[in-house]
């Protein structure tokens, strides 16, 4: 495979970015619709919300797989950087899980008041996904990515941290 921008046109990256934003909006709309019937039953509401949040987070974890190599080439990197773009989400997940474990050790009944944690987790996922999408849009616009190559990794780590918070919370 060539390491030139001819091997991966920027319009493909733009399409993946738009697809990611669209899928995120669809998943948030679905989360609202699927949890609405349970708004008066807290147990079912918690279960359905948690399942939907995990589904959204797993989807956000997988979306960059399709665009990571193209972004890697545009950043002047190779396959290892592409793998790092996918893997850094799991590094963030580990950090988020450890952080939630520490919170749960300090306050054992924290799971009873978990709505705010789920909101923070979803915010981190959305922030990381939007940040990564912005990097895709910059790459699609022809911006030289060599000086910005650390930012997509930061975006993936932020996304993973949100995933780790709610995944650890769900184990309680």
* pLDDT tens for each residue of 111-156: 877 778 888 888 898 888 888 878 877 777 777 777 777 888 899 8
Size (the chain), residues:
172
pLDDT at 103: 92
pLDDT at 138: 79
pLDDT at 5: 46
- Which segment of 36-40, 61-65, 159-163 scores lowest on mean pLDDT? 36-40
Q: Are 85 and 156 in contact (CB under 8 A)?
A: yes
pLDDT at 2: 45
Nearest to 45 by CA among 93, 114, 105: 114
Whether this model's pTM surpasses 0.85: no
* pLDDT tens for each residue of 19-51: 766 776 776 677 667 666 666 666 666 666 677
* pLDDT tens for each residue of 66-85: 778 887 887 788 888 888 88
Nearest to 136 by CA among 67, 38, 73, 55: 67
* Spatial separation of the C-alpha atoms in residues 106 and 154, rounded to whole Å: 28
């Amino acid at each position: 495979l060539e390491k030139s921008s001819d091997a991966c046109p920027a319009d493909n990256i733009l399409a993946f970015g738009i697809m990611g934003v669209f899928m995120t909006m669809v998943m948030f709309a679905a989360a609202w619709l699927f949890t609405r019937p349970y708004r008066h039953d807290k147990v079912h509401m918690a279960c359905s919300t948690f399942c939907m949040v995990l589904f959204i987070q797993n989807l956000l974890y997988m979306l960059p797989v399709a665009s990571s190599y193209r972004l890697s080439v545009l950043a002047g990197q190779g396959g290892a950087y592409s793998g790092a773009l996918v893997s850094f989400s799991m590094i963030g997940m580990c950090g988020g899980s450890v952080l939630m474990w520490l919170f749960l050790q300090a306050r054992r009944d924290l799971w009873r008041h978990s709505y705010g944690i789920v909101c923070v987790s979803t915010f981190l996922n959305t922030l990381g996904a939007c940040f990564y999408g912005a990097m895709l849009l910059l790459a699609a616009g022809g911006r030289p990515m060599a000086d910005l190559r650390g930012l997509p990794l930061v975006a993936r780590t932020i996304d993973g941290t949100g995933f780790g918070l709610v995944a650890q919370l769900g184990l309680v």
